[in-house]
């Protein structure tokens, strides 16, 4: 049966849904315990306004731009309906104020759950609203739809404030740029962010907050990714967070995602990829390369091909890739990659793009070198851009330690051997797994040349070409065919699997091609006599007894002899011996091969001609040369001017030998060149007076020069040497049994390396020798006192020996230490020391002692200051004595002169030859002027005596002791014709007694040109021109125009 009961509630309470629980007092006991209400009785819905409890308000944080939701629990959660909603408005705006709804997110009830002990309602904002609002603090305004007239919530009906909402995260989106290989730091401007928040870089093709299993989307090439904020700065409008990514080893563009730890979905901080929900911007890593990916061409054990996406091309050969058989902790540097074989462990190979890269994808082929016996399954490849554009030195991609991992396959089958014969068809197949059947190329080369180097052009010299393949199977095999093999031999097969344009990236030796038949003929002599029999060898591959050789004139279609078979076939059938005969006609010929059914081929060539011996001319004197420039009295070119030299007799070649004739001997052979002695007279004895060094201070291990002054020196031959031992050794000692030179006191002089030199410097001559060049000689290693010895080559006695009629020198001059027998008179001892002051002082004292002959004082060991004092006293004494002697000599000279003047007295000039000549000249001058005046009838009346009175008056003062008869004029006063005649008239001279003529004075004939006495002329030369008028018919010249002779007689007993 059913019972109906009514229950009265004192108060309806808050609006909402309630669960009714029933307690039966009679059966379950008193209903004073909540546990007694164990029976569910139904649901009670109390309608009305929901009351807000401030203590249970909503305080929610959400990451901006991500789905935001919050939960309401308790009785209030039970009261909310699916038509209710929340509106978030800025905190400075009241809930009932009008606000721009586009910037305010709305939250609606998504689900309501009845839990074991309470209710929970979940609100979230509408889909797509994440793009309509920004970071900041908001109020949550509530709208109860059951209380609105339309039972729906509009924006202006959200009037009840129910809590706060904090939208945290980055305030704006940003762009960052870093350089590849350099440290990279990002700064994010956010709201309500703090230390502990993090960023995560992912590829641009993925979204922030996506679940990433195994970090497949995570950006690589960074030291720290994700990166946790390590520094913060508070601002008035937010916080600046600093994130250090470390070194950016990669390049490209990355998406930057932010995680605020307080809003992480995982609830465990920024531990999962889904926690990084906000995209805060993009990061550009500027590099030279964008990516490195495998090429469509399969990689083999010999070659790996990659596609490199280039951003900055750089120069030619700038982009490079290298491979290794192992991975590393981090990517290698660009420099290590470029020096792969020296810097990268396990380096397999390196390649460079042989031209300037293009922006975008470029293909590079990396040749690999795998050691024999190693099974390599994969290779790790890295690439770098132009190092000149990479200041960080780390522009390598991929930026990881594993690089680009590429699986390797076998490639072409190596070492395949193919057989064929000359003149027969040839079919050849190249196999591989895989094999580049699209771009591969086959070449045939000689084994001696080997396969070409990498990156060589297609135009490689090859014996012959097989052309394009006849058929192919993709990546499996290529088949070649030839109708007839053109030649025989052993060849290599070289395969180019891939290339850069016309240049092969790598040639591989894949097999051997053996083509049976002859290759060449060896053993043909360079010259043969007519019809001479000779032996040759035919070389080839798989030769038989059917091979034949014959001689032809110029081509094989003109044989001059019968075809001959081989006498013997050598082991391995690689050669056969033939006996042939030269043609009967002189000239070139060819050796041809043939076989039954084969076309003859040229194998070699030779030349046949008649024989003729060498023809030499007779013996002649050799022409002078730089070594033979001293002529003898017979005109021979001798090697020396004195002291015994050689001259050469030569025989010139008239005609060279021809054919098998006797060849001409060499130019130095005794049959063409012989030497004979000449200029055997001894040379002048050389004198070496003084020696000094340049510089004056000579230090050990320092180059210097020696200057020798003397006479009869020979710069081109003389040499000097420094002998260790100083005073204890002498020059010119012969070598003893111990290998040194022993002096009289038993010491053995030693010569150091570099202490000898020639004296043939440009400044040297017969009186001055400059020995050593100061650059490479002379030099002495050890300090000490050395004896300088000179070798005068002209004084060295050498011996000649007659060899085949030619004189040969047994040894060179100055080649032994005893040849250095000349010791300079002054300065032969040279000190090598490290002290400059000591050297200068000692050198000055030594020079002074050497001049005064007091060197024994120095050698006796006296004090140097005493020596200097003695030298000063001696010098002063010598100067004083010289002054006294000079004064005595001058006094005696003056006394003797004074006595001579007294004895001569007034007769000093009386009978002087000069006085007599002067007086005779003036008398002749006076007489001539008088005669000219008499010839002039219409004169100006001037007294002739007055013309000569004044000059004669000067002569009257000369003391005379005898008479001097003046000479005659030599011209008649009545005969004027003789004055005008050009003929020579007679001259009379009066000479007293029989005294001889002592002086002749010739007078100048030209009256118009005055002259002066000159060297080698007359004693007195006067222009004898008087005053007067010449007649119209005659212009008399000076009288005595002929040879006027003045005879001056010397008085007996006069002194001249």
Distance CA(127)–CA(106), nearest Å, equals 10
Phi, psi of 900 (to 5 degrees): -65, -40
Q: Considering the chain, what is the average pLDDT of its residues?
A: 77
CA distances from 461 to 71, 500, 516, 884 (A): 85, 19, 21, 105
| Residue among 752, 761, 754 nearest 707 (CA) | 761
Alpha helices for 734-863 (secondary structure H): 836-852, 855-859
Strands 653-655 and 673-678 turn out to be unpaired
- Residue 796: pLDDT band (50, 70, 90) is confident
577: part of which helix (H) or strand (E)?
A: strand 575-581
The pLDDT of 309-317, averaged and rounded, is 88
Pick the residue with more confidence: 146 or 233? Answer: 233
Question: What is residue 673's three-state secondary structure?
Answer: strand
Distance CA(203)–CA(220), nearest Å, equals 9
Residues belonging to the chain:
1056
Q: Is the pLDDT of residue 716 over 70?
A: yes
Q: Are 503 and 354 in contact (CB under 8 A)?
A: yes
Q: Give the model's pLDDT for residue 868.
A: 79
Residue 157: how many other CB atoms lie within 10 Å: 20
Q: What DSSP character marks residue 416?
A: E
Residue linked to tokens 């009978």: 911
The token pair at 633 is: 């009295």
Phi, psi of 838 (to 5 degrees): -60, -40
CA distances from 45 to 6, 71, 115, 116, 820 (A): 17, 22, 18, 19, 141
Q: Are 552 and 608 in contact (CB under 8 A)?
A: no
Q: Which residues pair with 323 in a beta bridge?
A: 349, 381
Strands 630-631 and 637-638 turn out to be antiparallel
Q: Above pLDDT 70, what percent of the chain? A: 77
Distance CA(298)–CA(475), nearest Å, equals 9
Provide the terminal-to-terminal Cα distance of the chain, rounded to the nearest Å: 206
Q: Is the pLDDT of residue 214 over 70?
A: yes
- Residue 739: pLDDT band (50, 70, 90) is very low
Question: What is residue 177's three-state secondary structure?
Answer: strand
Q: What DSSP character marks residue 460?
A: -
Q: How much is the pTM?
A: 0.43
The token pair at 704 is: 């210097």
- Of 149-158, 558-567, 828-837, 928-937, the one with minimum mean pLDDT is 928-937
Phi, psi of 893 (to 5 degrees): -65, -45
Query: In degrees to the nearest 10, what's the CA dihedral of 433, 434, 437, 439?
Result: -140
Q: At what angle do helices 913-935 and 944-955 cross, to 10 degrees?
A: 180
- Of 450-454, 476-480, 846-850, 930-934, the one with minimum mean pLDDT is 846-850
Q: Are 741 and 817 in contact (CB under 8 A)?
A: yes
Distance CA(713)–CA(718), nearest Å, equals 7
């Amino acid at each position: 049966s059913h019972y109906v009961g009514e229950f009265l509630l004192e108060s309806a309470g808050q609006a909402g849904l309630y669960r009714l629980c029933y307690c039966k007092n009679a059966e379950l006991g008193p209903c004073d315990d909540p546990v007694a209400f164990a029976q569910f009785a139904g649901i009670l819905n109390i309608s009305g306004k929901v009351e807000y409890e401030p203590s249970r308000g909503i305080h929610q944080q959400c990451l901006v731009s991500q789905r935001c939701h919050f939960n309401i629990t308790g009785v209030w959660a039970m009261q909310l309906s699916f038509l209710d909603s929340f509106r978030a408005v800025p905190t400075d705006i009241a809930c009932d104020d009008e606000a721009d709804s586009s910037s305010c997110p709305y939250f609606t009830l998504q689900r309501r759950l009845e839990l074991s002990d309470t209710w929970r309602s979940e609100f979230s904002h509408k889909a797509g609203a994440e793009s309509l609002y920004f970071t900041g603090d908001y109020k949550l305004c509530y709208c109860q739809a059951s209380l609105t007239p339309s039972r729906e919530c509009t924006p202006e009906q959200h009037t009840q404030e129910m809590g706060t909402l904090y939208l945290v995260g980055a305030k704006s989106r940003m762009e960052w740029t870093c350089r590849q290989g350099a440290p990279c730091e990002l700064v994010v401007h956010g709201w309500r962010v703090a230390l502990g928040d993090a960023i995560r870089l992912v590829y641009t093709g993925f979204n922030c907050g996506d679940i990433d299993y195994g970090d497949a989307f995570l950006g690589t090439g960074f030291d720290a990714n994700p990166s946790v904020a390590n520094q913060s700065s508070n601002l008035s409008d937010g916080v600046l967070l600093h994130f250090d990514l470390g070194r950016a080893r990669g390049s490209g563009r990355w998406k930057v995602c932010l995680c605020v730890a307080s809003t992480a979905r995982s609830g465990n901080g920024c531990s999962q990829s889904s926690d990084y929900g906000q995209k805060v911007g993009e990061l550009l890593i500027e590099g030279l390369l964008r990516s490195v990916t495998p090429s469509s061409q399969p990689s083999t054990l010999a070659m790996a091909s990659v596609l490199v996406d280039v951003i900055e091309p750089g120069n030619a050969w700038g982009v490079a890739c290298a491979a290794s058989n192992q991975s590393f902790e981090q990517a290698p540097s660009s420099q290590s990659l470029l020096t792969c074989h020296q810097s990268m462990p396990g380096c397999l190979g390196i390649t460079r793009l042989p031209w300037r890269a293009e922006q975008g994808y470029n293909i590079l082929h990396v040749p690999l070198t795998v050691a024999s016996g190693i099974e390599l399954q994969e290779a790790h490849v890295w690439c770098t851009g132009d190092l000149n554009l990479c200041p960080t030195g780390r522009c390598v991609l991929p930026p990881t330690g594993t690089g680009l991992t590429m699986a390797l396959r076998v490639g072409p089958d190596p070492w395949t051997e193919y057989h064929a014969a000359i003149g027969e068809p040839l079919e050849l197949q190249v196999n591989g797994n895989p094999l580049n059947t699209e771009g591969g190329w086959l070449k045939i080369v000689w084994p001696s040349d080997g396969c070409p180097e990498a990156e060589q052009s297609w135009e490689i010299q090859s014996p012959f070409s097989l052309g394009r393949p006849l058929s192919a199977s993709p990546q499996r095999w290529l088949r070649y065919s030839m109708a007839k093999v053109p030649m025989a031999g052993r060849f290599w097969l070289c395969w180019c699997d891939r290339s850069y344009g016309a240049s092969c990236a790598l040639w591989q030796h894949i097999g051997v091609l053996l083509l049976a038949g002859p290759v060449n003929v060896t053993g043909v002599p360079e010259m043969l006599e007519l019809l001479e029999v000779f032996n040759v060898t035919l070389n080839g591959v798989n030769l038989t007894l059917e091979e034949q050789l014959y001689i032809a004139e110029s081509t094989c279609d003109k044989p001059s002899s019968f075809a001959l078979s081989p006498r013997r076939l050598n082991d391995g059938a690689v050669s056969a011996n033939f006996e042939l005969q030269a043609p009967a006609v002189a000239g070139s010929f060819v050796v041809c091969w043939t076989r039954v059914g084969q076309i003859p081929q040229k194998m070699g060539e030779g030349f046949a001609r008649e024989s003729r011996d060498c023809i030499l001319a007779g013996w002649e004197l050799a022409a002078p040369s730089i070594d033979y420039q001293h002529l003898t009295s017979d005109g021979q070119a001798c090697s020396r001017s004195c002291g015994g030299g050689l001259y050469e007799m030569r025989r010139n070649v008239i005609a060279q030998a021809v054919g098998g004739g006797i060849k001409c001997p060499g130019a130095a052979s005794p049959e063409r060149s012989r030497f004979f002695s000449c200029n055997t007279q001894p040379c002048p004895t050389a004198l070496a007076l003084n020696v000094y060094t340049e510089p004056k201070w000579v230090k050990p291990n320092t180059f210097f020069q020696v200057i020798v002054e003397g006479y009869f020196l020979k710069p081109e031959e003389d040499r000097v040497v420094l002998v260790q031992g100083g005073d204890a050794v002498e020059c010119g000692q012969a070598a003893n049994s111990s290998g040194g030179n022993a002096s009289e006191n038993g010491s053995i002089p030693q010569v150091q390396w570099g202490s000898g030199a020639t004296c043939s410097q440009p400044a040297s001559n017969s009186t001055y020798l400059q020995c050593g060049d100061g650059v490479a000689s002379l030099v002495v290693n050890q300090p000490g006192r050395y004896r300088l010895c000179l070798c005068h080559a002209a004084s060295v006695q050498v011996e000649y020996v007659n060899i085949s009629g030619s004189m040969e020198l047994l040894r060179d001059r100055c080649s032994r230490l005893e040849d250095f027998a000349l010791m300079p008179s002054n300065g032969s001892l040279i000190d090598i020391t490290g002290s400059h002051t000591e050297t200068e002082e000692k050198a000055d004292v030594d020079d002074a002692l050497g001049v005064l002959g007091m060197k024994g004082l120095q050698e006796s060991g006296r004090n140097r200051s005493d020596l200097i004092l003695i030298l000063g006293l001696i010098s002063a004494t010598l100067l004083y004595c010289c002054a006294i002697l000079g004064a005595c000599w001058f006094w005696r000279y003056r006394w003797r002169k004074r006595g001579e003047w007294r004895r001569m007295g007034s007769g000093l000039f009386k009978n002087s030859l000069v006085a007599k000549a002067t007086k005779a000249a003036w008398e002749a001058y006076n007489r001539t002027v008088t005669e000219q005046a008499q010839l002039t009838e219409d004169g100006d009346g001037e007294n002739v005596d007055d013309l000569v009175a004044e000059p004669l008056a000067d002569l009257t003062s000369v003391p005379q002791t005898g008479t001097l008869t003046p000479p005659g004029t030599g011209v008649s006063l009545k005969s004027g014709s003789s004055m005008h005649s050009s003929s020579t008239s007679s001259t009379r001279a009066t000479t007293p007694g029989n005294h001889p003529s002592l002086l002749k004075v010739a007078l100048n004939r030209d009256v118009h040109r005055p002259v002066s006495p000159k060297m080698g002329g007359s004693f007195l030369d006067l222009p004898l021109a008087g005053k007067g008028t010449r007649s119209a018919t005659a212009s008399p010249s000076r009288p005595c125009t002929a040879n006027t002779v003045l005879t001056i007689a010397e008085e007996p007993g006069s002194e001249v």
